[in-house]
Chain A
Amino acid sequence: MKKPNFSWKRVADSFSTRSFRAGGYTVAAAAIVLAIAVMVNVFAAALPASVTKFDTTANQLFTLSEQTEKLVGGLTDEVTVYWIVRSGREESYLESLLSRYQSLSDKIRVVKKDPDVFPTFTQQYTDSFTENSLIVEAGERYRYVDYNDIFVMDYTSYYYYGTENWSFCGESELTSAIDYVVSENLPKVYLLTGHGESSLSDSFASAVKQQNIETAELSLLTLESVPADADCILINAPQSDISLDEQSKLRGISGQRRQSVSHHRPAEKRKAFQSGSTDGRLRCQHCGRHRGGERPEPLCLGHALFPAAGHCVPRHHHAPDRRRLPCAAAHFSGSDGGG
């Protein structure tokens, strides 16, 4: 039986052979090259997204609109965006969107909040939450933006054709939320009640919410006059007549402020309006903008609520343009929806 001829001397000698020196040099050189490669990549990753990422999609799916650039670029207050997501479950579309917002302004701070680590964090903002949702906060004001408002699935096409069509509304939702939290005075719309008025349709209500218009119900039976903070009174398809008393109260609004619009329009007008649009879609009579929603109304929301304004934008404060941003339509594969 052969004895293993092990000795410390041989081990020590092996460190000074020619092949060890050459091998050692190779390992050191490889380590240096690897370190340089890692540094170059870290440097490239640290560059702002505007320099490194170029949008080549046809409908500029990954580019922020001019309105967003103006609003976010002109921010003077700190805005914190809390991203409610577990580690490793980050939605990549949302991640790139947030990084593009951050590259627009250093006032935007994105903080990831892991609901497993901070289970009580969302309770001060919302009762329930979905993963990959956002909470936008500035000072006292905040808004919760749900995942299902950011990624909107077209259920009609899902049930009829079985295809999952997802729209990514991240930009319009996030910009609207930022505008909301930094605005001091939001336009207020009162909805007249007491005459069997119909409630706002879902699409109309969500459009109102996205334009950051506050709504409140108004019952003129109990009030002396129309509240002073009413920017607009919406009389939505009343079933019974408005009493003389209420009429005088409504007429009591000073001439400049009297801009109340009836939401109820005769059927012939609707038809004429519908046939007037060339591509079958509904357009605003004033600005030609497509009307959202399923109800054939001749005016887009801004014009319906504020007809005296020459455009769709109800009022200006520091927000340059409060039009509703379009949702970028995208086809997502069904599996990467996260949560």
Chain B
Amino acid sequence: MTKNGFVSLILAAVLEAGLIEGYLWDSSRFEGLFPQIISQLSLFARFYTIVNGVFDVTAIVYYLSVTGFFLFLSVQSLEKRRWSE
């Protein structure tokens, strides 16, 4: 979103350095990180916990935040009609 390419380059370099630093410090935290993130996003995995008989508040929070986020995006795409040509 920045208009200055140089700023974005610096920002990327800093973030990348932080990532490499973190990897050198404790590489085991990066094990299977990507599948972990993806599975955290799974809508059904949390539902199965509830099916198994555990009322999990974190799942409710997750569903509400997903609902809220996509409602917000819907409002934004309706707003878009005002200014798009």
B-binding residues in A (CB < 8 A): 15, 18-19, 22-24, 26-30, 33-34, 37, 40-41, 44-45, 47, 51-57, 61-62, 87-88, 92, 96, 114, 117
> Besides the contacts A26-B79, A52-B57, A53-B54, what 14 more A-B pairs have beta carbons closer than 8 Å?
A19-B85, A22-B80, A26-B76, A34-B69, A41-B61, A44-B61, A47-B57, A53-B58, A54-B54, A57-B53, A57-B54, A62-B53, A88-B32, A117-B31
How far is B84's CA from A45's CA once the two chains are assembled, in angstroms? 40
A-B contact pairs, 30 of them (CB 8 A): A15-B3, A19-B83, A22-B80, A24-B1, A26-B79, A34-B69, A37-B65, A37-B66, A37-B68, A37-B69, A41-B58, A41-B65, A44-B62, A47-B57, A51-B57, A53-B58, A54-B55, A55-B53, A55-B54, A56-B54, A57-B52, A57-B53, A57-B54, A62-B53, A87-B31, A88-B32, A92-B49, A96-B54, A114-B28, A114-B31
Q: In the bound complex, do residue A40 and residue B31 qualify as a contact, i.e. CB atoms below 8 Å apart? A: no
Least Cβ distance of B50 to chain A in Å?
Answer: 9
Contacts of A51 in B (CB 8 A): 57
Given A15-B3, A40-B65, A114-B31, answer yes or no on A26-B80 (Cβ-Cβ < 8 Å): yes
Least Cβ distance of A31 to chain B in Å?
Answer: 9
Contacts of A44 in B (CB 8 A): 57-58, 61-62
Contacts of A37 in B (CB 8 A): 65-66, 68-69
Contacts of B82 in A (CB 8 A): 22
A-binding residues in B (CB < 8 A): 1, 3, 28, 31-32, 35-36, 49, 52-58, 61-62, 65-66, 68-69, 72-73, 76, 79-80, 82-85
Given A19-B85, A37-B65, A41-B65, answer yes or no on A53-B55 (Cβ-Cβ < 8 Å): yes
Main secondary structure of the interface of B (DSSP, over half): helix
Least Cβ distance of A8 to chain B in Å?
Answer: 13
Q: In the bound complex, do residue B79 and residue A40 qualify as a contact, i.e. CB atoms below 8 Å apart? A: no
Please name the 5 residue pairs, one residue from A and one from B, whose CB atoms are nearest each other, closest first: A57-B53, A87-B32, A37-B65, A52-B57, A54-B55
Least Cβ distance of A101 to chain B in Å?
Answer: 16
Contacts of A87 in B (CB 8 A): 31-32
Of B32, B49, B69, B83, which contacts A18 at CB under 8 A?
Answer: B83
Contacts of B56 in A (CB 8 A): 52-54
Of B61, B76, B83, which contacts A30 at CB under 8 A?
Answer: B76
Contacts of A33 in B (CB 8 A): 68-69, 72
Least Cβ distance of B73 to chain A in Å?
Answer: 6
Given A24-B1, A45-B58, A88-B32, answer yes or no on A61-B68 (Cβ-Cβ < 8 Å): no
Of A22, A34, A92, A117, which contacts B83 at CB under 8 A?
Answer: A22
Q: In the bound complex, do residue A52 and residue B80 qualify as a contact, i.e. CB atoms below 8 Å apart? A: no
How far is B85's CA from A51's CA once the two chains are assembled, in angstroms? 51
Q: In the bound complex, do residue B53 and residue A61 qualify as a contact, i.e. CB atoms below 8 Å apart? A: yes
Of A24, A47, A62, which contacts B54 at CB under 8 A?
Answer: A62
* Nearest CB in chain B to that of A24: its residue: B1
Q: In the bound complex, do residue A30 and residue B84 qualify as a contact, i.e. CB atoms below 8 Å apart? A: no
* Nearest CB in chain B to that of A118: its residue: B28
Least Cβ distance of A80 to chain B in Å?
Answer: 16
Contacts of B84 in A (CB 8 A): 19
Given A22-B83, A52-B57, answer yes or no on A30-B73 (Cβ-Cβ < 8 Å): yes
How far is B1's CA from A44's CA once the two chains are assembled, in angstroms? 30
Least Cβ distance of B9 to chain A in Å?
Answer: 17
Contacts of B66 in A (CB 8 A): 37
How far is B53's CA from A54's CA once the two chains are assembled, in angstroms? 8
Least Cβ distance of B71 to chain A in Å?
Answer: 10
Q: In the bound complex, do residue B76 and residue A41 qualify as a contact, i.e. CB atoms below 8 Å apart? A: no
* Nearest CB in chain B to that of A21: its residue: B83
Contacts of A27 in B (CB 8 A): 1
How far is B29's CA from A117's CA once the two chains are assembled, in angstroms? 13
How far is B61's CA from A51's CA once the two chains are assembled, in angstroms? 13
Scoring B32, B36, B58, B83 by chain A CB atoms within 10 A of each residue's CB, the highest score goes to B58
